[in-house]
Amino acid sequence: MGKMRAVARAYTMQALVKYHGLRDWKLRIPYHDSISVNTDVAYVVAEVSFGGLDEDVVIANGSILTGRARERVVAVLDRVRELSGIEERALVRTENHPKVGAKGLGFSSAAGASIATAAYFAAGLDEVYGRNEALISRIARLLAGSACRSVVGKYARWYAGTGDEDSYAVRFADEGNLPLRFAIVPLGIDVTTEEAHREAESSPYFSRRIEVANERCNRVERAIIEGDFKTFGSEVEKDSLELHAVTMTGSSGMILMTPESLRVISLVRRMRSEGIEAYFSMQTGPTVYVNAMPEHIDEVVQRLRDAGFEVLVSGIGGGAEVIER
């Protein structure tokens, strides 16, 4: 079989109702549903070529991956090989855009979505299954859970399911429902998402977190569909605080916020007290997203920059797409 190649692009996402912990680590099946919205300002381009190699080679932003990072990519490739019946090894190259060093920006999710999409089309699976977003979402999930939501884009809900076949993401709304804009303040910390997931499971509050998150998914989904920004913002803020509270109460007391994170949160609350309707959101890292409606985003961004923060400004991004084949 000849060499097969495809290039795909997928956007990072802001997790709105975050998942924490994995019920099945091999298949990356979570304990509860989650919801996110894709950005339109940060993305990963992945090139996947099958053939001509004795082993899979993964190059991310110019560096060859080894160990656990490589294993997660190979899990995606193995699934594509299983579905397509090919045996060729692959060369995978990814590039992050923009080049921002921070934790909680969702680049691993965009990488999973772009690699899965590129591999799917490079192996010719579209000729068998068509552009099957549910299937691509399931494949992307094997690299990073949130990647399944990055695949479908816009506002997406990841249904936890009970196994591989029913654990995937579905797009349920777009900017026509809630025309969200958000300012991203990238902040760094040296902790992996997998470490945070394992830590959360040791918290005495973890079981309650599962119950609350499932209930919140329904409220947030309804708020987005109905364009209810106030309910949306309030619920997402609460979810972010609960996520970090569970992590902090794990066995080693892992703290993923930094003093800069708290400065952003304080500024957002001050803006809201002054009539600027804005709400913060955080993932498993110190990076802060500040959600606002279009009429307030310029002022939010200016206030953050005046306070000395680097800011990326985003609207709602689409799903993974093939850009070359």
For 243-272, give the DSSP string: HHHHHHTSTT------HHHHHHHHHHHHHH
Question: In the structure encoding, which two tokens stand for residue 94, read together?
Answer: 């990814």
Confidence band of 132 (pLDDT split at 50, 70, 90): very high
CA distance 283 to 103: 9
Question: Between the CA of residue 5 and those of 112, 118, 120, 159, what are the distances in Å?
Answer: 17, 8, 10, 31
Helix locations, 95-186, DSSP H:
107-122, 126-129, 133-141, 147-152
CA distance 82 to 88: 11
CA distance 143 to 116: 9
pLDDT of residue 192: 77
Confidence band of 128 (pLDDT split at 50, 70, 90): very high
Cis amide bond preceding 286, omega within 30: no
Q: Which residues contact 106 (CB under 8 A, 6 or more apart)?
A: 12, 13, 14, 15, 39, 42, 146, 150, 283
Strands 278-282 and 181-185: unpaired
For residues 2 and 317, is the Cβ–Cβ distance under 8 A?
A: no
Q: Domains of the chain (ranges plus CATH)? A: 4-176 (3.30.230.10), 181-314 (3.30.70.890)
User: Which residue is associated with the tokens 């959101």?
Assistant: 281
pLDDT of residue 3: 64
pLDDT of residue 199: 84
pTM of the model: 0.94
Confidence band of 143 (pLDDT split at 50, 70, 90): very high
Mean of pLDDT values over 70-80: 97
pLDDT of residue 104: 61
- Quick: pLDDT tens for 19-72: 988 999 999 999 999 999 999 999 999 999 999 999 999 999 999 999 999 999
Confidence band of 1 (pLDDT split at 50, 70, 90): very low
